[in-house]
Each structure stands twice: as C-alpha cells, then as structure tokens.
C-alpha cells in the first residue's frame, strides 16, 4: 500500500505540474493574440459599423451598430422587437440617453469589462428593467446591497438620540461614549 500511495502522490504532482505549465503557456499565447493592454474605445466600437453587425439602433438620431444574437440573448424585449422587424429597419429609441445605452451594451458584449459605480447605477437599473435584462438587474442589486452593507458597517456603531440642545449621536468607537452635536459635524 505504501508503494501505491507514493505513486499516486507523484502522479498527482506531475498532473499539477503539467496543468500549471499548460495554463501558463495558454495565458502567454492568449496575451499575444489578445493584446489586453489595448483598450477598446466603447463609443468607437458601437458607433461605427463592424463586421457581423446586423442591426441598427437609433438613439436620439445617433446610429448604434449591434448584432441581433447578442441583443436577443440578453433581453426578451430586444428579442421580441427584432423578431417583429422583418424588413431590417432600425430600432428607434428617442427617450434614452446615448451614453446610458452604451453603458448597458458594455454588459451585453463580453469583449468589455464594465463596472457598476455610483455614476452609472441609476441608468443601468432603469435600462435593465425596461429591457428585462435580468443579469444586469441582478448585478445592480448586488452592487446596491454591497453599498448598503458598507454604509451599515461604517455607521454600525453610531446610534442617535435627541438631547435638550438638539440632535446628538453617540459614537461607540472609543471606550467611552462621546456625545457630539449634529450641527457641529456639518
């Protein structure tokens, strides 16, 4: 049994070594093929026609080029509109901001590495509900929950009460409670 367990152990080490060498080689070649340092300009990508784009979306008289497969996979609303559109007429949305729409498209196309932040969260929530883009809706919900969790952690040790001279809060961060007037902090 000792011989078998030693052989298994050495085989596992060889497998691990081969696997790590393979992933290193793959990442080395992938970096050469896909130059990660070259960031794609999002506006240039969507505002100019590319190979394989097969649908035009007009947002406030500005043409955005997309492909039907990506839009249909992300949103049942897009899928329905594209199926109804037999003549390949452009989809027209005059009530959406171009930058907001492109921010949503970044989440649909895997070539981009989009980020949800306090600047784009409100438009992403609005567009995810409008187009029933569930994955983006869930990502926005997670962002909001993390944000609220951070706020709770920051203010978790703070309790408020009203004193004779006005509103106060107690900070429990020190060993003794410190009383601060609210107007002194503003």
Contact 159, 179 (CB under 8 A): no
In sign, the C-alpha dihedral spanning 73, 75, 78, 80 is positive
Q: Mapped to the 3 state alphabet, what secondary structure does 65-81 carry?
A: EECHHHHHHHCHHHHHH
Region of 119 (left: φ > 0; alpha: ψ -120 to 50; beta: rest) is: alpha
Is residue 86 within 8 A of residue 125, CB to CB? The reply is: no
Q: Which residues of 106-125 are buried (b: 16+ CB within 10 A; e: fewer)?
A: bbbbeebebebeeebeebbb
Q: Is the pTM of this model over 0.85?
A: no
What span, in angstroms and rounded, lies between the C-alpha atoms of 54 and 76?
Answer: 18
* pLDDT tens-digit series, residues 130-181: 999 999 999 999 999 999 999 998 887 565 555 555 555 545 554 444 444 4
Crossing angle for the helix pair 98-108 and 134-155, to the nearest 10 degrees: 100
36-63: per-residue pLDDT in tens? 556 789 999 999 999 999 999 999 999 9
């Amino acid at each position: 049994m000792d011989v078998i367990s030693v052989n298994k152990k050495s085989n596992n080490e060889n497998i691990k070594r081969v696997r790590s060498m393979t992933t290193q080689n793959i990442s080395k070649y992938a970096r050469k093929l896909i130059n990660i340092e070259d960031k794609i300009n999002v506006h240039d990508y969507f505002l100019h026609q590319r190979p394989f784009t097969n649908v035009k979306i007009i947002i406030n008289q500005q043409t955005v080029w997309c492909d039907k497969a990506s839009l249909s996979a992300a949103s049942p609303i897009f899928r329905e509109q594209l199926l109804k559109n037999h003549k390949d007429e452009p989809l027209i949305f005059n009530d959406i901001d171009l930058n907001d729409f492109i921010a949503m498209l970044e989440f649909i196309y895997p070539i981009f590495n989009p980020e949800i932040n306090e600047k784009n969260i409100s438009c992403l929530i609005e567009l995810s509900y409008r187009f029933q883009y569930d994955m983006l809706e869930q990502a926005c919900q997670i962002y909001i929950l993390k944000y609220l969790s951070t706020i709770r952690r920051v203010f978790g040790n703070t309790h408020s009460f009203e004193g004779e001279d006005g509103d106060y809060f107690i900070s429990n961060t020190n060993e003794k409670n410190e009383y601060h007037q609210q107007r002194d902090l503003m």
